[in-house]
Amino acid sequence: MTEREKLVELKDVQITFGKGKKKFVAVDDVSFDIYKGETFSLVGESGSGKTTIGRAILRLNPISAGEIYFKGQKISGKISKEMDEEVIRKCQMIFQDPYASLNPRMTVTDIIGEGIDIHGLYSGKERQKRIYELLELVGLSREHASRFPHEFSGGQRQRIGVARALAIEPKFIVCDEPISALDVSIQAQVVNLLEDLQENLGLTYLFIAHDLSMVKHISDRIAVMYLGAIVETAPSHELYENPLHPYTQALLSAVPIPDPTVEKAKKRIILEGEVPSPINPSPGCKFQARCRYAQPICKEETPNLKEMKPHHYVACHMVK
Ligand code: SF4
């Protein structure tokens, strides 16, 4: 088997915010690789650090420690102007709320054309042709080009957001909860669109989601995050069939099953409380306050990620 090419690499990345007593660790020693052409998903409740990581890869959040690489080149910290431009050109983001992320006073042509103009890719008729092509690529039509965002449905607006991200021909896209603000009936359409684009354009995705309900099929691998750290990572099918971390098990128990008999018999694991404050966290496992299996060791030692099966890693003292 040929070795897969790593497109993005995170090595021991730490991201902190605030200072002194208010300082908190939003991302705590996170490492992972994203291979060319795959979808790697980060899943966790709000405040788990997943969006902060996505923004750090795009250089929108500085990192406090560790390193980030794109195509083998370091892109964190101080880098050359050329490398900075390479990241802006090749790495894009699709946002959660398509309405908030589109300027209401701009037409679709101007929204999609903005990146084309900034990077001087096309002008005149070529520019308009490219905008029409992009609209068709995302399932809209050239008639939509002169309209404003408020004239579209939520699903259509997200398609405009996708076209805007594709305008400068990126290789890597951070999809930051791109479907969670949409109706359930529309979610699958946007996921299918992203999958088709990935196949046709050879894109690589970092897909961010707050639960496990919609990421099974789009993901090749999934990392579950809790309070700034990865607690479990595995190929998608393996994570759904054999979740090992108590937090992953709780997230999975909340995913509805289409078969009503199985759904009725399923036991939902209710997690008490919210994600605790990341300011001055207690020593030991970050999940201890909400974990039904917690033992004395969990208060003393922080569990590290261990490979329990090929490519399946978990950070829990009780998983042996
Ligand atoms: Fe629960 Fe302990 Fe495992 Fe943490 S290490 S998830 S507290 S059993």
The reported pLDDT for the residue numbered 1 is 46
- Percent of the chain whose pLDDT exceeds 70: 97
* Residue whose structure tokens are 């990126």: 170
Measured in Å, residue 306 CA sits from the centre of ligand 1 at: 13
- Dihedrals phi, psi of 174, to nearest 5 degrees: -90, 115
Sheet of 39-43: strand order equals 91-94, 172-176, 204-209, 39-43, 221-226, 229-235, 312-314, 306-309
pLDDT-derived band at 19 (thresholds 50, 70, 90) equals confident
Q: Which atom of ligand 1 sits closest to the CA of residue 285? A: 4
Residue 61 CB partners (closer than 8 Å, separation 6+): 15, 52, 55
Residue of the CA atom closest to atom 6 of ligand 1: 316
Q: Which tokens go with 16?
A: 């902190």
Least confident of 76-85, 181-190, 213-222, 266-275: 266-275
So what's the pLDDT on residue 180?
86
pLDDT in tens, 224-248: 999 999 999 999 999 999 999 999 9
Per-residue model confidence as pLDDT tens digits over 41-83: 999 988 899 999 999 999 999 999 999 999 999 999 999 999 9
pLDDT at 141 over 80: yes
Which of the listed residues 225, 271, 314, 316 should we mutate to test ligand 1's pocket, taking the one with most ligand atoms within 8 A of CB?
316
CA of 285 to the centre of ligand 1 (A): 6
DSSP, residue by residue, 63-115:
-SEEEEEETTEE-SSS--HHHHHHHHHHEEEE-S-TTTTS-TTS-HHHHHHHH
Longest dimension (CA), the chain: 69
Query: What's the average model confidence in pLDDT over 293-308?
Result: 95
| Higher pLDDT pick, 168 / 272 | 168
What does DSSP assign to residue 211? S
Closest approach atom of ligand 1 to CA 293: 8
Alpha carbon of 250 to ligand 1 centroid (Å): 13
For the chain, the average pLDDT equals: 91
Cα torsion angle, 222, 216, 45, 164, sign:
positive
Which protein residues touch ligand 1 with a CB less than 6 Å away? Answer: 246, 285, 287-288, 291, 293-295, 298, 303, 316-318
CB-side exposure of 312: number of CA atoms within 13 Å? 17
Residue whose CA is at the smallest distance from ligand 1 atom 7:
288
Q: Which two tokens stand for residue 202?
A: 């050879």
Is residue 297's pLDDT more than 60?
yes
